[in-house]
Amino acid sequence: MKQSNSINGTEFRDMFAAATTWLEKSASDIDALNVFPVPDGDTGTNMLLTMRSTVEEGFKVTDTSVSAIAQAMANGALMGARGNSGVILSQIWSGLAQGLCDKETFNGKDLANALEQASETAYKGLSNPVEGTILTVMKDVSKASQKQAAKNGAGGDVLSVMEAAVNAASESVANTPTLLPVLKDAGVVDAGGQGLFTLLDGALRFMRGEAELMRFRKPQLVESNVPMTPITVTAPEKVGADEIPFGYCTEFLLKGKELEPEKLKRRLVKRGQSLIVVGDDTTVRVHVHTIDPGAIIHFATTLGTVHSVSIRNMDEQHQDFLEMQKSRTPVADIEIVAVAAGDGLSDVFTSLGVAAVIPGGQTMNPSTKDLLQAVNSLRSDKVIILPNNKNIVLTAEKVQSLTEKHVHVVPSRTIPEGIAALLSFDYEADFDANTRIMTEALSSVKTVEITRAVRATQFNGFAIKKKQAIGLLDGTIVAVADEPLDVLRTTLTKAGLKKAEVVTLYYGEDTDEKEAQQAKDEIASKYHNLQVEVVRGGQPHYNFIGSVE
Amino acid sequence: MTVKIVTDSTSDITSRLAQELGVTVVPLTVFFGHESFQDRVNISTDEFYRRLSQESIYPTTTQPAPGLFAEAYQNLLKGNNEILVLSLSGRLSGTFRSAVNAVGMVEGKGRIEVIDTSLTAMSLGLTVISAAKMAAQPGMTLRQLTENVKAKLPHTSTLVAFDTLKYLAKGGRIGKAQGLLGSLLAVKPVLTLKDGEVAPMTRLRSMSAASDYLYNHIANMPKVEALAVEHATTPHEADILVARLGKIFPKENIYRSVLSPVLGTYMGPNILAVSFIESK
């Protein structure tokens, strides 16, 4: 595709299929840009998974008009949106589809208009838009493309508009630390903005005819305008061949000895697409799209023990990948759905009466579709969602518009908030009253999270080395130490234990029960009036999640 | 001719108050192994809860034999009285059926009414007290009294903060609170009575939070006509709740009681209960 005034739907889709493959190459680098050195809310992976869903839907449409294909892609983005960045990306797609509606093909002017619509829709979708994020980048892209389109006049050349868009995106990303102080402190550019730039860059390269070249190159991360300490970037992932949109999305956890993830990755790369293998010698998480999931799982069982297997037929309408317990008693005809990563945590929620628990998934962020399926699978038509993660609240809020059922989101940002809300459920109150009661309960608990930093950074006056244990209190880093128990101790002292009544410690999959008991004994001996409970959470990444109330 | 009130021992009114009001209390029976006791008659609440915590066998209960009711009716009919019998919920105990059967055993046609109040503990107790006071009004007939009592029943209930549900579950009285079993977190459930059986209200993490909840529930009622607070083994916690409630309701009118051994069999120790009649 060289100089072109008119691009149709199929070409549009191919542009973004290539862009998605391009994004995949730097997804983990983008993950490492998270302001918080905590191992979840992976923007890169979330945007990638959202784009995969977007492009897959685009391939299912036979109509070649850009209107039909963009609409399908927007639907795919909406359903596959994961994490906050995924949701905003889906808003961008919604705007693009609106801007391109009723068109068979598009030219430069059309593209500029669509990008403007995309920017507006993205801003509108948020109650609290923040500058210095993907939104600013989108806005700058929109302005630059409008300017270029006006310059082109009646010509309508698409390529030049796209180039202007990508240049503007690059500058905008570089500027994000100036707009958002936390980025400056952490020494990174905004991850969502970087992801958007990479996507547009990939689409542009495809338009230029560089598809072959792209296979051997790697996307560059935009450097910040603001001088900062260099970050180490992890090694790039090898990408498989072209996507096949059908098959089974297969995920599982492999535990054993001397698993050698790199070697495993090489062996599996031919067996499917979109392969992701992460972990270490004892625990490896695998995610792959394949038409023969059985073979892959069987192979895995020869290497170690296989856990938490999830196989989803990717183009089935009625996917039923959730395990649900039959409710013991109809709960006043309101049913509750909770998101929880960790089999112990999942058991806790189920034991407290939620109708369905959605696993967080590999990035710990389920897609809109994952949540929607859970809601639709329940008997009741009045459902409350507990996202239990600040990166899932937006995704949850999208679900109401996708179902006939009545859905309220109680915006729990952490597991302890979710549990406090769940316990406050009043069996005599109606749907609206309970939503209010549960939302009020969110502030009755303080959350403590202990994890290991995924990279070195400076935060809040702390100098943090990679892999050090960090303690967060209600989402802010308050303590750093080499060992989780030490950091837990310090973090708890800042949580106001003198006035507290109950402390509950959920220990994660990386933590021994003995360690948890030790923590409990220490706290209980120091604070005699405090009720301390230790529960196995089994959550990934977080050594301890604690509630103080 | 006056109307006399008969009730069962789960109404938790003290024997002194019963005497003052002229109320006859028919006891249920508690068994510890082969030993049987008449509820609140030859086993005190203190002794019951002491044995409950010390012994490894769980107590059981039975309703009063119809003969006990019949005896009570006989005595009262002699004085040319009419009788209103207020029994605990028929879905929790066979006591109601016993009381009804006993009517056929005496010559009291047209002079005995038996009501299944769907209540127990001090919600039944407050109903009895209220009925006794109304019965004392000159010219009160059995029919009128029955109507008056029935009119208040929908506005009467008990909220109970539990330490554990195991006694309820073991005793088969858990009713609609079944879904609260099996919690992996230590919680204090608050239950109530609905349609004569146990139903869930909510859950708290500690007994003091539960006490707050009970207080707030009463504080949010526009107008309360009668109020009672009970405990099983924690009088101090109950006193704290009474002191708080005393700020929004005349403290001298708050009835204080202890959950009877029969109720203790199904609830266990460490209970806080508040009962009320709302004015409508």
Q: What are the structural domain ranges in chain A?
A: 7-216, 248-313, 335-444, 448-548
Report d(CA B144, CA A86) in Å as an integer.
Answer: 69
CA A540 to chain CA centroid, Å, is 15
**Which of A351, A427, A549 comes nearest B184 by C-beta?**
A351
Chain B positions in Cβ-Cβ contact with residue A531 (cut-off 8 Å): 186, 205-206
Q: Is the CB of A426 less than 8 angstroms away from the CB of B176?
A: no
What architecture is the A7-216 domain classified under in CATH? Alpha Horseshoe (1.25)
**Ordered domains of chain B (ranges, CATH):** 3-153 (3.40.50.10170), 155-278 (3.30.1180.10)
Whether the CB-CB separation of A271 and A292 falls below 8 Å is answered with yes
Tell me the shortest Cα–Cα distance from A283 to chain B, in angstroms.
27
Task: Could you list the beta-strand ranges (E) of A234-381.
Answer: 248-255, 273-279, 283-290, 305-313, 335-339, 356-358
A168: DSSP letter: H
For A437, the closest chain B residue by CA position comes to B202
Mutate to test the interface with A, among B184, B195, B204 (most CBs of A within 10 A): B184
CA B50 to chain CA centroid, Å, is 21
| Helix intervals (H) in A363-507 | 368-377, 393-398, 415-423, 431-441, 484-493
Beta bridge partners of A1: none
Helix (H, G, I), strand (E, B) or coil at B192: strand
pLDDT of residue A205: 94
Lowest mean pLDDT among A20-34, A422-436, B135-149, B263-277: A20-34
Residues of A with CB under 8 A from a CB of B: 327-329, 331, 347-348, 351-353, 419, 423-428, 501-502, 504, 531, 533, 535, 549
Chain B positions in Cβ-Cβ contact with residue A327 (cut-off 8 Å): 179
Could you report the per-residue pLDDT of B219-233, keeping only the tens digit for each? 999 999 999 999 999
Q: Check: pTM over 0.80? Answer yes or no.
A: no
Name the class of domain A448-548. alpha beta
Chain A positions in Cβ-Cβ contact with residue B202 (cut-off 8 Å): 423-427
Contacts of A218 (CB under 8 A, 6+ apart): A25, A26, A236
Stretch B237-252: mean pLDDT: 96
Q: Is the CB of A501 less than 8 angstroms away from the CB of B181?
A: no
Tell me the shortest Cα–Cα distance from A547 to chain B, in angstroms.
11
B9 pLDDT above the threshold of 70: yes
Chain A positions in Cβ-Cβ contact with residue B217 (cut-off 8 Å): none
What architecture is the A248-313 domain classified under in CATH? 2-Layer Sandwich (3.30)
**Which of B181, B201, B208 comes nearest A501 by C-beta?**
B208
What is the DSSP pairing of strand A248-255 with strand A305-313?
Answer: antiparallel
Whether the CB-CB separation of B92 and B84 falls below 8 Å is answered with no
pLDDT of residue A287: 77
* pLDDT > 70: percent of chain B: 100
Mutate to test the interface with B, among A427, A446, A532 (most CBs of B within 10 A): A427
Same fold, A335-444 and A448-548: no
Whether the CB-CB separation of A78 and A112 falls below 8 Å is answered with no
Per-residue pLDDT of chain A (549 residues; tens, 9 = 90+): 455 788 999 999 999 999 999 999 999 889 888 776 676 668 999 999 999 999 999 999 999 999 999 999 999 999 999 888 899 999 999 999 999 999 999 999 999 999 999 999 999 888 778 899 999 999 999 999 999 999 988 768 999 999 999 999 999 999 999 998 888 877 789 999 999 999 999 999 999 998 888 888 888 888 887 664 433 333 222 222 333 344 677 888 888 888 888 888 888 877 777 677 777 788 887 878 787 888 889 889 888 999 878 787 655 422 222 222 233 334 458 999 999 999 999 999 999 999 999 987 656 789 999 999 999 999 899 999 999 999 999 999 999 999 999 999 999 999 999 999 999 999 999 999 999 999 999 999 999 999 999 888 888 788 889 889 999 999 999 999 999 999 999 999 999 988 899 999 999 998 999 999 999 999 999 898 899 999 999 999 899 999 999
pLDDT of residue A227: 62
Closest Cα partner for A256 from A223, A300, A292?
A300
Q: Is the CB of B201 less than 8 angstroms away from the CB of A425?
A: no
Tell me the shortest Cα–Cα distance from A450 to chain B, in angstroms.
20
For A331, the closest chain B residue by CA position comes to B179
pLDDT of residue A233: 31
- The residues in B 59-78 lying below 8 A from A, measured between CB atoms, are none
Whether the CB-CB separation of A207 and A189 falls below 8 Å is answered with no
pLDDT of residue A251: 81
Chain A positions in Cβ-Cβ contact with residue B206 (cut-off 8 Å): 501-502, 531
Q: What is the mean pLDDT of chain B?
A: 94
Classified by CATH at the fold level, domain A335-444 comes out as: Rossmann fold (3.40.50)
- The residues in B 142-201 lying below 8 A from A, measured between CB atoms, are 176, 178-187, 192, 199-201
Chain A positions in Cβ-Cβ contact with residue B205 (cut-off 8 Å): 423, 501-502, 531, 549
Stretch B232-249: mean pLDDT: 96
